[in-house]
Amino acid sequence: MIANLIDKVKLPFRKDRELYSSLYRILGFYPRNIEFYRTALVHKSVAFKGRNGKSLNNERLEFLGDAILEATVSDILYHHFDRKREGFLTDTRSKLVQRTTLNALAKEMNLEELVQSQINNSSHNSHLGGNALEALVGAVYLDRGYDHCKWFLKRRILGRLIDIDGVAKKEVNFKSKLLEWSQKNKISATFELTNTINPGTNNPCFEMRVVIEGIVAGTGTGYSKKESQQKAAKEALMKLRREPKFLDSIFRAKEKRTAMGAEEFSVLPKIEEIEEEIAKLEQRTPECRTERPVKKRTRRAARETQLNNEMQQAESTEKPNANTTEKAETEKKKPTPRKKKANPGAKQAEVPTEKPLQTTETSEKPAQNATKQEASAQNDGEKSAARSHRRKRPRQNTEKADENSEKAREEIIRAAEEAAFNQA
């Protein structure tokens, strides 16, 4: 503060009062060695000679200021985003120190009005303001040191003219985002030069297009190949994000190329600028709103479940009831009762016959006195009794047959012993 007051008091007595006051409005402090700043504001087209007779311009200071600018911005971002990783910091720094950003800053600071040049500043390929800003940073570093450079960038530029958080969120490299998405999904994406307007002149214009799996996804025109590629990539990302049918056609083309099922694709990168443009288009044409495409795996899973259900229904209709089949098989497997042969001396066991058994009462009654109804009822009762007798008696009959056979054996043995005893 005291140094600024002293310089302000000395200002009326200086020869370059206008240059001092103009630099004070830009820098926020008065320069000490005005020669550094005068050199920083001279373009090579109007280079002047110094004391040693050499031509002076701002190219050397531009080289120095470029390095100091990157170091200072890196220092500011490192302390501002204390929890972000190096990749995020690198991307944010590239957005702040790129040529388009510096040109816009120089125009907003009215720095271009102080630059001495003989070229047209309105030309599309003119970076006069950005180069002058880098040279000005180099002059501040030589005049006041690193601390003043950091204060100038942090207080006068990043704090007033640029919102660091907004720049960090804003995406400008559409080409890298598109290539990153295509590499994750193993999709071929190439940039092709289709036409060059005014070739061989100082103002050539290039037309580029993006081809994804043999399908033209976007086109762009610019005064440099990089600019036209960025425009084409931006158009392709908007088309992929807004048109699900176009995205499906790309994956179908990939399936044909690889002759195998497409893998699950990663989500398209969200870019605020593209999202805002899509929202505006959807507000104008609400009928264009469509749902996001269903993933390939979910579609296949739904088809497989549907096929499985149809197969189960077909099998259930073709197969007979399991209960009936089991009963039939168990009846077939049941062993049939075998008749045992009796020994020659044993009494024959009573075996139930299929003929109905007649009780004594029914045999004694004369058939003439019985009516037809009583006879039919008796026959039904006799049949049921015979069936029950046939089911219950087989074990008893076999036991009796065994006892009779044993008795017959004993009698035969006794008879043989008595015969032998009598012969003796």
Residue ranges and CATH numbers for the domains of the chain are: 2-169 (1.10.1520.10), 174-300 (3.30.160.20), 360-423 (no CATH)
Return the active site residues.
Answer: 66, 134
pLDDT greater at residue 127 or residue 146: 146
Torsion, CA 402, CA 403, CA 409, CA 412, rounded to 10: -140
Find the range with the poorest average confidence among 79-83, 107-111, 173-177: 173-177
pLDDT band at 151 (very low <50, low <70, confident <90, very high): very high
224 pLDDT above the threshold of 90: no
Cα separation, 58 vs 138, whole angstroms: 9
Mean pLDDT, the chain, integer = 75
Cα separation, 232 vs 227, whole angstroms: 9
Cα separation, 148 vs 139, whole angstroms: 11
- Give residues with Cβ within 8 angstroms of 350, minimum separation 6: 397, 400
Going by C-alpha positions, the residue among 113, 213, 333, 385 that lies closest to residue 121 is 113
- Find out whether 189 and 211 touch, Cβ atoms under 8 Å: yes
72 pLDDT above the threshold of 90: yes
Residue 359 backbone dihedrals phi, psi, to 5 degrees: -75, 165
Q: What is the pLDDT of residues 371-415, one digit of tens each?
A: 555 555 555 666 555 555 445 444 555 566 667 777 777 888 888
Mean pLDDT across 23-30: 89
Res 369: pLDDT = 46
Res 263: pLDDT = 56
